[in-house]
Amino acid sequence: MDIKEGKTLETLKRKFPFLLLLLIIPALGFIYTVLNENPRRATSISTALDQHIPFIPVFIIPYIIWYAYVLGYLIYFCFKDTKVYIKSLITITIGECICFIIFFYFQTTVNRPEISPEVPFYHLVNFIYENDRPFNCFPSIHVLTTYVIMLASLHIKNKHPLHSILIQGMGSLIILSTLFVKQHVIWDMVGSMFLVSYIYGIIFELVNIRIAQKAKTVEK
């Protein structure tokens, strides 16, 4: 085993306990599934502007890429900056738990278009429509988690320029895809981005205060 391989294995050993925290993601997904399979009286919060947003089937691609985008970049954050990784997971966990409470007491729905096999990317769109019922839309989990990754990436130092472009570019496409494939409406998107900004700001402020307090203790 050469030196490079040895360092890689050592890094994996150090990061493995932190990577186990990713198990919270499927746990949150299970809660969402339970809530989504028990629809109650749902309200539409669609606006007049939503009616003018076209259905663009090709956006189902970034919508589906979301699954790999969030998980892949959380792992990337873990190896680049564990603190940013943990803050991101905390933000996602708190944000989704707040969403679940909202889903339980205020369930919303989205009117989906009728699609036929002639529609481009029909099978992908139909797969999502069949496996994700049009309930529990506000706030959007897709937008929430994507926006966390986009914000967190701003705190990752020494990342390759390609990642900076990819994270923000693909993240923007994913957020837009929620509207163009008619999985969400504008208020779902806005609600998620506001929620993330609020939670993320509080978490980072608390962490910064704690670091400052430790620094003062060391100086004394």
Exposed / middle / buried, residue 211 (Cβ in 10 Å: 0-12, 13-18, 19+): exposed
Q: Which amino acid, residue 35?
A: L
CA–CA separation, 106 and 57 (whole Å): 29
Determine contact, residues 200/91, Cβ cutoff 8 Å.
yes
DSSP 8-state assignment for residue 14? H
The per-residue pLDDT for 82 is 92
Say what the pLDDT of residue 209 is: 52
- 67-83 pLDDT per residue, tens: 999 999 999 999 999 98
Cα–chain center distance at 60: 16
According to the model, what pLDDT value does residue 15 have? Answer: 86
pLDDT per residue as tens digits for the range 76-105:
999 999 989 999 999 999 999 999 999 999
CA dihedral 199, 32, 181, 150 (to 10 degrees): 30
Q: Report how far residue 54's alpha carbon sits from residue 119's, in angstroms, rounded to the nearest whole number.
A: 14
Split at pLDDT 50, 70, 90, the class of 40 is confident
Q: What is the pLDDT of residue 207?
A: 61
pLDDT over 90 (residue 210): no
